Amino acid sequence: MSRRALITGITGQDGSYLAELLLAKGYEVHGMVRRVALEDPSRRLDRISRVLDRVKLHAASLESFPSIYHVFRLVQPDECYHLAAQSFVSYSFDDEFSTFNTNINGTHFVLAALKDVVPRCRFYFAGSSEMFGKVAEIPQTETTRFHPRSAYGISKVAGFDLTRNYRETYNIHASSGILFNHESPRRGYEFVTRKITSGIARILKGESTEVRLGNLDAKRDWGHARDYVEAMYQMLQQDEPDDYVVATNRTHSVRDFVNLAFSIAGLDPDKYVVTDPGFFRPAEVHLLIGDPAKATRVLGWRPKTQFEGLVEEMVTVDCENAGVSLARAKAI
């Protein structure tokens, strides 16, 4: 009989890649989604449109314990990947309270339902490099002290602690991935990488003349989402639950991303990139670089896509989607 996986946040970037990975491995894949997603599938389910006929979706709210409990009773999953979250760091400065509600209470509800209904179900928590915040050491590893700099980062530390507590107290097979930034052509448009690559496509199409950005000096360890969901899966295949840093061990500034993306499109960034104070954060995470040695040693995980390939893929797909030819743009 095929194994059954339940993914919260299946409509997001990572959820869509993970659903594809698990289906390819023969899993029966279930997704927990908001009711509105089922009512507006063309817009809200677009990332999973290619697998929609092979996944089973269940409406539930991260704010409602009974609705989550009901889904666990119905699905009886062997593995649960808890990816749903208010994931935009910037927004968490504007609304700390809803970020905490979704990310902390939501995670607690999922863990509590799992413990009650299917205590042998394996659990993955989507931890984040934002937990390191004002970094205590370089590079960051599983033992680096947390110092979050936003409500989002704090909510992820709380989720990480809840996950570890359920592992230690209730013997749940619960693991956290401490994932560094990972991107793809499915990245939300509000995140800086996609904002840049979709902005380039709009410029080439003649629909826009600028990309307005905040802090270009911030440095991130950027990988590809397709690679990172492999690590999530591997964590739940281990005999023992544990926590793992997933990163490329290379860091680049936002400016590096801008320069490479614009050069791929044959454009001069100085003509189009405008620095806008409105996009600076009240507290910034200046430098992230992760050491994935433990994930490599224990999980056999390595990133397949490097920074350059990631940027090229994102620019290319956004230009294709916009109907502009990159080759022609470069030739002009």
* 107 lies in the site for ligand GDR, by CB under 6 A: no
Which one from 69, 124, 152, 166 is the annotated catalytic residue? 152
Using the Cα atoms of residue 141, residue 143, residue 149 and residue 155 in order, give the sign of their dihedral: positive
79 classed as catalytic: no
Which one from 87, 128, 150, 155 is the annotated catalytic residue? 128
* 89 lies in the site for ligand GDR, by CB under 6 A: yes
Interacting residues with ligand NDP between 125 and 154 (CB under 6 A): 126, 128
What does the buried/exposed string (b/e) look like for 238-263 if buried means 16 or more CB atoms within 10 Å of the residue's CB?
eeebbbbbbbbbebbbbbbbbbbbbe
d(CA 164, CA 178): 13
Q: Do 215 and 280 contact (CB within 8 A), yes or no?
A: yes
* 104 lies in the site for ligand NDP, by CB under 6 A: no
Q: Which of 130, 230, 313, 318 binds ligand GDR (CB under 6 A)?
A: 130
Interacting residues with ligand GDR between 253 and 312 (CB under 6 A): 254, 279, 281, 284
Ramachandran bin of 42, using left for φ above 0, alpha for ψ from -120 to 50, beta for the remaining angles: alpha
Sequence-ordered list of residues with C-beta below 8 angstroms from that of 54, at least 6 positions apart, any chain: 23, 29
CB of 205 to ligand NDP, least distance (A): 24
Sequence-ordered list of residues with C-beta below 8 angstroms from that of 40, at least 6 positions apart, any chain: none
d(CA 208, CA 134): 35
d(CA 190, CA 152): 15
Of these partners, ligand NDP, ligand GDR, none, which one is at the site of residue 251 (CB under 5 to 8 Å by kind)? none
CB of 42 to ligand NDP, least distance (A): 13
Q: Do 199 and 208 contact (CB within 8 A), yes or no?
A: yes
Q: Which of 218, 293, 298, 317 binds ligand GDR (CB under 6 A)?
A: 218
130 classed as catalytic: yes
CB of 223 to ligand GDR, least distance (A): 10
Window of 162-170, 179-187, 257-265, 306-314 that interacts with ligand NDP by CB under 6 A: 179-187
152 classed as catalytic: yes
> What are the Cα distances from residue 245, in Å, to 141, 166, 231, 238?
6, 20, 10, 15
Q: Which of 21, 41, 61, 90 binds ligand GDR (CB under 6 A)?
A: 90
CB of 188 to ligand GDR, least distance (A): 8
- Tokens 């743009």 locate to 329
d(CA 62, CA 110): 8
Residues that bind ligand NDP (CB under 6 A): 9, 11-15, 34, 37, 44, 62, 83-87, 102, 126, 128, 179, 181-182, 188
**Active site residues per annotation:** 128, 130, 152
- Give the residues lining the site for ligand GDR (CB under 6 A): 87, 89-90, 128-130, 180-181, 190-193, 195, 213-215, 218, 220, 254, 279, 281, 284
